[in-house]
Amino acid sequence: MDRTIETTRSRMYDALAEELTASGVDVSGVVESLKAQRVETPSWAYGNSGTRFKVFPQPGVPRDPFEKFEDAAQVHRHTGVCPGVAVHIPWDKVEDYGALRAHADSLGMSIGAVNPNLFQEEEYKLGSVCHPDPAVRRKATNHLLECVEIAKATGSDILSLWFADGTNYPGQDSLTQRRHRMLECLAEMYDAMPQQMRMLLEYKPYEPAFYHTDLADWGTALTMCQRLGERAQVLVDLGHHLQGTNVEHIVALLLDEGRLGGFHFNARKYGDDDLIVGSVNPFELFLIYVELVGAGPAAGDVAYMIDQSHNIEAKIEAMILSVTNLQEAYAKALLVDRTALEAAQRDGDVLGAHRLLLDAYSTDVRPLCARAREELGASPDPIAAFRASGYMEKIAQERVGGTQMSWT
């Protein structure tokens, strides 16, 4: 049966490669680009999570950050493109970060972006770096500086910052003064960062603040980055936009300004839903990759990270599906006939240009992605291979006792 599947897969790839080559596509170049793709998965997605109403535990959920890395290694094993794991402090706080780094190394993994947590302490009820009380801002800044040191110790070169800071009612605080307070705190952190380290600022229009959020959109994040320096860049979370926002336009603008630092990939239907990336609006995901591919070298330093909350899905399988969706979106964007597209745009051929995108988007690129994974030594069919591996049954038996990790 396995030989039959392998033969069928090979035939599908050969047929697609022949068709694409006839249309002028460098198929081997596309496969090499897919092999070079890198996506960072988040440690917190492997722990228990839920809604405001309920956190749903699952068998085999990690009990410490070391076990989180073991689960993340399974995603990398089967997809071939996920060696980095983002950590969240203090959720992933350990006594010895050198030991965590060594454990990651032993698994063929690395520690990625360090994410400070400035939204769960009692003192942050009115904000953290924007709080009117200097003592609270000092506490928040000290945590940011702590995360700089953790990044140094773990070999990370990215600090990913999201703030829940905002107000619920008009008049609650000075909007301008809050901006000045944030800038002062972030400037101290920025000055403490080594030269190779970048600060990525994430924005969000609402929640938990409902009148205004201090970093509400790409504009507020961008202007803060411009005040801080070149190593401060904007992070785009696909769920952090109002309904109808043209995210690919934001991506293009930030790329053109040299300020697109990275992504938190996920999907949304109503708000910040943190669903599996590509599950709700896969065409938007494709269009984002169209802009990234079109930017060429300008997109070279963009950090591709996933930020999801798997409430009811199997954690590892959900992450594998997210990664394969990203692989397929990237593959489709690589198939866009750029020469024909530019000609159609110059000629004002509106539907011709649009159809070129549709042609690429409609292509079944799964054989290309399977071939890229095979050449990386990963799994052509990642979820099927993971299910057959017995890993979930193994950890469900081994991880009995102790306290399962979660985002609370």
CATH number (domain holding residue 300): 3.20.20.150
On the CB side of 147, how many CA atoms lie within 13 Å of its CA?
32
Which pLDDT band, with edges at 50, 70 and 90, does 7 fall under?
confident
Q: Evaluate whether residue 101 is within a structural domain.
A: yes
The pLDDT assigned to 45 comes to 95
Question: What share of the chain has pLDDT > 90, as a percent?
Answer: 94
Residue 407 has pLDDT above 80, yes or no: no
Q: Bridge partners of 115?
A: 88
Residue 386 has pLDDT above 70, yes or no: yes
Q: Bridge partners of 304?
A: 263
- Structural domain that includes position 246: 29-334+365-397
Q: What is the mean pLDDT of the chain?
A: 96
- Alpha-carbon distance 399 to 43, whole Å? 17
Residue 287 has pLDDT above 80, yes or no: yes
The pLDDT assigned to 406 comes to 85
* Residue 133: Cβ-neighbour burial (10 angstroms; 0-12, 13-18, 19+): exposed
Q: Evaluate whether residue 178 is within a structural domain.
A: yes
Q: Evaluate whether residue 69 is within a structural domain.
A: yes
Q: Evaluate whether residue 202 is within a structural domain.
A: yes
Question: What share of the chain has pLDDT > 70, as a percent?
Answer: 100
Mean pLDDT of 231-242: 98
Strands 212-213 and 166-167, sheet pairing: antiparallel
Mean pLDDT of 365-386: 98
Q: Evaluate whether residue 17 is within a structural domain.
A: no
- The total number of structural domains in the chain stands at 1
Which pLDDT band, with edges at 50, 70 and 90, does 51 fall under?
confident
Residue 232 has pLDDT above 80, yes or no: yes
Residue 3 has pLDDT above 80, yes or no: no
Residue 1 has pLDDT above 70, yes or no: no
Sign, Cα dihedral of 39, 44, 47, 52: negative
Which pLDDT band, with edges at 50, 70 and 90, does 408 fall under?
low
Q: Evaluate whether residue 14 is within a structural domain.
A: no
The pLDDT assigned to 243 comes to 95
Mean pLDDT of 113-136: 97
Mean pLDDT of 218-236: 98
- Alpha-carbon distance 128 to 259, whole Å? 25
The pLDDT assigned to 4 comes to 84
Q: Evaluate whether residue 102 is within a structural domain.
A: yes
The pLDDT assigned to 10 comes to 92
Who has greater pLDDT, 56 or 214?
A: 214
Q: Evaluate whether residue 22 is within a structural domain.
A: no
The pLDDT assigned to 89 comes to 97
- Alpha-carbon distance 123 to 139, whole Å? 9
With 0.85 as the threshold, say if the pTM is over it.
Answer: yes
Q: What is the CA radius of gyration of the chain?
A: 22
